[in-house]
Amino acid sequence: MAAPQEKRSSEERKHRSVPNGAQTSQGQWGRAWEVDWFSLASIIFLLMFAPLIVYYFIMSCDQYQCSLVSPLVDLLLENTRLSDIWDKTPPLTYKAAAIYILWVTFQVILYAFVPDFCHKFLPGYVGGVQEGAVTPAGVVNKYEINGLQAWIITHVLWFANAYYFHWFSPTIIFDNWIPLLWCANILGYVVSTFAMIKGYFFPTNAKDCKFTGNFFYDYMMGIEFNPRIGKWFDFKLFFNGRPGIVAWTLINLSYAAKQQELYGQVTNSMILVNVLQGIYVLDFFWNEAWYLKTIDICHDHFGWYLGWGDCVWLPYLYTLQGLYLVYHPVQLGTANAVGILILGLVGYYIFRATNHQKDLFRRTNGNCKIWGKKPGYIECSYVSVDGTKYYSKLMTSGFWGWARHFNYTGDLMGSLAYCLACGFAHLLPYFYIVYMGILLTHRCLRDEHRCFSKYGKDWKRYTAQVPYRLLPGVF
Ligand code: NDP
């Protein structure tokens, strides 16, 4: 975690209002103050089409066996009409609404009312009350880190139900998948709209709000940096971490149960997807305290992008491989299965080791060993909104010396492994790697723009020393 280092930085304050190079100015880090036309056009496009994209993917599995092309061909050849497709789409049901309300309420209770116990008996796990990074207004928020506990309790109950209580079928998520989509959309829009209104009328911290004056941009990218209800209910941590990510592994388990019900067996590809994505999800919760220092929490404001994205986009599109495998139960040959497992595990190792190296480096303020040696770094400084100067360091050793975002490279390798597990018969499972490629490349550029605004000439010194972003020698 960077918090202790950031705090130390604040103790090291030496000069007030001393800019670091010509490009650095107060409050330039965090999301934009002004909107350019390209950003505005992209945002309006996403607001209009992202819900349709999710619907199209899920509908094409429900009505066209996961073929992305068939619905279009049918429409073009006038074999079907949009209204026919819509009529065949399952509507919102009371049952789905009840499941969804119970689910979200349960996660709210686990998040807000059950303090973390795991850190008391799990060696190495950082849970309980933790500090986030310093915000542009100079605030350090406290968070109750109890995601691992929420995940464990939820999954213990899930397995207890599946093997012992039998209150509901383990296929319940798959069986209500489209009605639940409507519920997730309702929550996504309600929470994003509430966050916008809250930003205008009762923000948690007015100094950490940003207004561009453009309704669409503010709605999408958010006004408030860290909206909260009361002292502990943090919108960003809750919606980012639960209910979407806790649900991710349950959704996959529901798909596996459906395969078992339909075909009398669970294929090795389904097991691979469950295991590899399960590792990724568990890693997220094991490292939730570290997550407080990632871009989502440190730099993004809370708007539709996070609110709707966490409620709808993440649980529906990140789980497409499992959904696809219900319709196309792929049984991989041993060599392919082992190859995919190795790719996924190596990707995960790179992702985790790179993130760990930065975390260790920041937590110890550079007083650590990376690959057995004291790490190299570039000293840098930045200025917060109130004009206070802070000091930080950018590491140039380990994976951070290979490329500026090698953690993204590992993430992409893992993502590719999930897709390959589905074989090559359809495009749909490959959406994830295409999407992650775009997301992480865009994130890379966005982060670098922000780091340049934050660190100015120091960032230039860093990029001169580590010239590649994702792949050494290529990009
Ligand atoms: P990083 O963890 O790479 O964090 C970037 C920040 O780290 C920079 O803004 C800067 O922050 C600091 N930094 C940059 N270079 C250095 C350096 N050389 N030494 C020390 N600090 C440095 O990015 P993210 O927060 O985007 O990603 C975290 C993880 O989450 C990644 O592994 C990513 O793959 C994953 N992820 C997954 C997503 C998914 O949907 N599955 C989506 C997004 C991310 P500072 O201002 O503190 O200097």
Q: Where are the domains of the chain?
A: 38-331, 333-474
pLDDT digits (tens, 9 = 90+) for 91-130: 999 999 999 999 999 999 999 999 999 999 999 999 999 9
Residue carrying structure tokens 């990510």: 245
Task: Report the distance separating Cα 317 and Cα 306, nearest Å.
Answer: 14
Please give the biggest Cα pair distance in the chain. 72
CA distances from 261 to 149, 266, 290 (A): 30, 9, 39
- pLDDT score, position 23: 37
Number of helical H runs and strand E runs in the chain = 23, 6
CA distances from 385 to 7, 14, 292, 381, 464 (A): 16, 16, 20, 14, 28
pLDDT digits (tens, 9 = 90+) for 45-98: 999 999 999 999 999 999 999 999 999 999 999 999 999 999 999 999 999 999
pLDDT digits (tens, 9 = 90+) for 220-240: 999 999 999 988 899 999 999
CA-380 nearest atom, ligand 1: 48
Rounded to the nearest whole angstrom, what is the distance from the C-alpha of residue 316 to the centroid of ligand 1? 24
DSSP letter assigned to residue 336: H
Whether the per-residue pLDDT at 322 is higher than 80: the answer is yes
- pLDDT score, position 333: 97
- pLDDT score, position 15: 31
Task: Report the distance separating Cα 33 and Cα 210, nearest Å.
Answer: 7
The pLDDT confidence band at residue 134, using thresholds 50, 70 and 90, is confident
Q: Report which of 309, 384, 245, 269 is spatially closest to residue 50, judged by C-alpha positions.
A: 309
* 345 vs 471, higher pLDDT: 345
pLDDT digits (tens, 9 = 90+) for 260-269: 999 999 999 9
Q: What residues flank ligand 1, with Cβ below 6 Å?
A: 2, 294-295, 351, 355, 358, 361, 392, 394-395, 400, 405, 407-408, 411, 443, 447, 451, 454
Whether the per-residue pLDDT at 42 is higher than 90: the answer is no
CA-450 nearest atom, ligand 1: 9
Mean pLDDT of all residues in the chain? Answer: 90
